[in-house]
Chain A
Amino acid sequence: MKEESDNNHKKSSRRNFLKKSLVAGAGVVATGGLVEAYLDTRAAETGDKVKVLTTDGKIVEVDKAHIKYPRVSREESREGIPGKKFVMVIDLARCKNARACVEKCQEGHYLPKSQEFMKVYLLQDNDYTAPYWFPKPCYHCDNPLCVSVCPVGATYKRSDGIVLIDTDRCIGCKFCITGCPYSTRVFAWRHYEEYDEDTQPYSPEASSPGVEGTVSKCDFCPDLIRVGKLPYCVSSCPMGVIYFGDLDEDVVTNGTETYQFSKLIRDRAGFRYLEVLGTRPSVYYLPPVERQFPVDRGFDGLDEEVKKRYESTPYAKKQRR
């Protein structure tokens, strides 16, 4: 079972979000007739109670340790969550490269340290424009080239907008990696010990790690979404940089703040990265204006190894001079 790391004040707003947008379609943790399916009472109680909504509309309290997230079948995981169209908004004004999203994502997906689904770039468009930190998940494009080029249908686009990979199907030809113009996909160059940690049966939707010789990437955490939680990167960010929500219901939240998506994009001049490529991403950015931190704060507290990765950026080169 996955660890839930959020503190209490976040939880209440997340539950609001859950009620507002996700309950209707998602297979939410249920009691009553479905107790066996979603509750595992063998685990030791933590005493930490969580309120959950049953299928007949009642709210009941269960122990946190007892919740078992349902694994979705392969067929179901190809369909997507009905009535949803997921969208992500990343506020560049707030990002200071705290890297909580990167690390929590790695942990949640059982990734080794050498693989990231979420990456943070230090971009500077030209010498005179300001540098900014740029978190980059998979864009879950509406016109995904990676899906078009896959010879075996291992990667596919779902009705809820998510682009998933079935690592049981993937033959590892890497064509999707070259097809993606955003360098989003990673390949398992060998077997990593971390992969063994996930012992539950495989489902493309679960945060299962990759398999040696196959491709994997950011999946928008559909297993968490199904149970009304936010993706790891969203819930872990200390700055609330990343918002996640539903385009159809026009709402996004970062766990503490909830916005009307269309208004947020309109008011803050949201944009999609490299719109010119015609891939139609599901991830929007808010421009890095009126920033809360100087860009250099992003280097604070970084591991030497991580710091080195930014050494060849134009900004870092200029600083050294």
Chain B
Amino acid sequence: MANEKELALLKEFAPQIEHTNLIQAVWMFFLAAVVGLGFYALYVQIAEGHEVTGMRDNVVWGIYIVNFIFFMGVSYAGALISGTLHLFRAEWRKPINRIAEYITIIALLIGPCYILLCIGRLDRLQYLVLYGRIQSPITWDVIAISTDLFGCFIFLYLAVLRDIAAIRDFQAIRIPKWKRKLYTWLALGYTGTTEQRERLHRATDVMAAMVIAIAVIVYSVLAWIFSVTLQPGWHSTIFGPYFVIAAVFSGCGVMIVVMWLFRKLYHLEKYITRKHFVNVGVLMLILAALFGYFTFSDYLTKWYGSERNDELLISLLFDEYYWLFILSNYVGVLLPMVVVGIKRLRTINNITISAVIVVLALWVNRYLIVVPTLESPYLPIQDSRPEWLFYSSTWVEWALTAAGIAFFALAFTIASKFIPIINVSEMADSSTLEDEEILT
């Protein structure tokens, strides 16, 4: 049975679960409309062919694949923050680990959709299983992502189980009958006996470790899709770990932004404090340093050895893409280090602003990995339509990108109205003494 502290906490979150106010309804309608626009763009792409995108024979992958890498990376935030901090029993994670888990699962639902958008014949998708060849990194990816999705789903489910049971037991909450039935069904008969608690705890430990390992594999496989090819900008041994670091880095950025938004919207100032922003900020600082180091190593070796095609790529990056390169690989690395590194600048708002820049910078970083490389192949792009030389994305691609972001926000809003955005049960576990450790 849910204890008193749990019920007291639940009472606080009950209004979010019980009803949706007008602003929230309008907000959700707006997001749904953006997702709808995305579906229209998808319809156009399927009806008229991939010609409606900016992709052509040279740049065959555009911002779809950038979004794919981006969302997959973001999904790593939960695996790291929730999984690692759970294993290390870091008490301060308790108010924010639900946010981390939601990020993981929602981003993981969106990411793979983008790779589907790159596929010319969606009607033949079943061939990936029917005729799958294990030699192909795409097959590795199919296996890795489906394992990841499955693993993360179990992990999330274990993490929300106690809260679902608590809501089921919370008689005062005013929810329709079907909803209560749903909670009862989802709670799987969990009543909080000692044996159940122990089992749940052990299972969560195992899944936390698994999810971290699987996420490393998924992200490495994703990087290998690029690095196993002979393309000058991609054929790099550093790509596996580089992508893993970039993923956690972007995940931390998104984590901070989401924390800030929910803190403001749901008035969670009491639970999500400066301590959480600083702690995740410090993680972000470490990752910024690592990311900067990997980026530097990669481009240094390309530039110093100056093989002809590497040279072409570098000159393209520093010419055509100069400002984007500066934003992604200088500003995005140095800003979080300065903001979090200097104590005086370490405010909630400053950390959030730097996190927004980090998220943007990492999206651009992936763009700079994908597009300029395809624009500078071994054989110069010639005997081709001049308008095919450079990639520029079309409204269809942007509409689908916006739809992904909108779906992320929409799914988050809905999820937060179904199960409290703060892990009520884990918070209730701690004593008053521990509360201080968690919050300040």
Contacts and interface: CB of A to CB of B under 8 A. Distances in A.
Contacts of A191: 49
Interface string B44-64: 000011110001111011000
A153 B61 CA distance: 21
Chain A interface residue bracket vs B: 35 or more
Q: Which of B121, B125, B132, B378 has the most chain A CB atoms closer than 10 A to its own CB?
A: B121
Contacts of B50: 187, 189-190, 213
B316 interface: no
Contacts of B138: 149, 151, 173, 175
Nearest to B57: A186
A189 to B, nearest CB: 4
A214 interface: yes
B42 to A, nearest CB: 14
Contacts of B132: 151-152
A184 to B, nearest CB: 9
A178 B136 contact: no
B133 A313 contact: no
Contacts of B234: 178
B127 A169 contact: yes
Contact of A174 (B49, B120, B386): B120
Nearest to A174: B60
The B interface, classified by DSSP as helix, strand, loop or mixed, is loop
Contact of A151 (B60, B139, B382): B139
A276 to B, nearest CB: 10
B44 to A, nearest CB: 12
Chain B interface residue bracket vs A: 35 or more
Contact of A178 (B56, B61, B381): B61
B136 to A, nearest CB: 4
Interface string A149-190: 111111000000000000001111111011101110111111
Contacts of A123: 380
B384 A309 contact: yes
A189 B51 contact: yes
A145 B229 contact: yes
Interface string B359-377: 0000000000000001001
A187 B382 contact: no
B230 A277 contact: yes
Interface string B325-347: 00000000000000000000000
B49 A212 contact: yes
Contacts, number: 143
Interface string B114-154: 00001111001101101111011111001000000000000
A190 B49 contact: yes
Interface stretch (A113-121, A220-228, A282-290): A113-121
Nearest to A135: B383
B136 A149 contact: yes
B225 interface: yes
B230 A148 contact: no
A114 B381 contact: no
A277 B125 CA distance: 32
B171 to A, nearest CB: 53
Given A182-B378, A183-B58, A171 B383 contact: no
A150 B125 CA distance: 13
B379 A183 contact: yes
The A interface, classified by DSSP as helix, strand, loop or mixed, is loop
Contacts of B226: 178
A8 interface: no
Contact of B382 (A169, A173, A313): A313
Contacts of B378: 181-183, 274, 277
A153 B386 CA distance: 33
Interface string B81-101: 000000000000000000000
A151 B384 contact: no
B26 interface: no
Contact of B383 (A213, A214, A215, A310): A310
Contacts of B130: 152
B228 interface: yes
A64 interface: no
A320 interface: no
Given A173-B118, A178-B374, A309 B383 contact: yes
Nearest to B235: A181
Contact of A181 (B118, B135, B231): B231
B270 interface: no
Interface of A: 114, 116, 119-123, 136, 145, 148-154, 169-175, 177-179, 181-183, 185-191, 212-215, 274, 277, 279, 306, 308-313
12 contacts: A149-B137, A149-B228, A152-B124, A152-B133, A170-B121, A171-B120, A171-B125, A175-B136, A178-B226, A181-B377, A188-B120, A189-B56
Interface of B: 48-51, 55-58, 60-61, 118-121, 124-125, 127-128, 130-133, 135-139, 142, 225-226, 228-231, 234, 374, 377-386, 389
Given A145-B230, A149-B228, A190-B51, 19 more contacts: A123-B380, A149-B135, A151-B133, A151-B142, A152-B127, A173-B120, A173-B138, A177-B60, A178-B234, A179-B229, A181-B378, A182-B379, A183-B379, A186-B57, A189-B51, A190-B50, A191-B49, A308-B386, A312-B386
Q: Which 9 A-B pairs have the closest CB atoms?
A: A172-B120, A213-B120, A190-B49, A151-B138, A151-B136, A189-B51, A190-B51, A174-B60, A181-B230
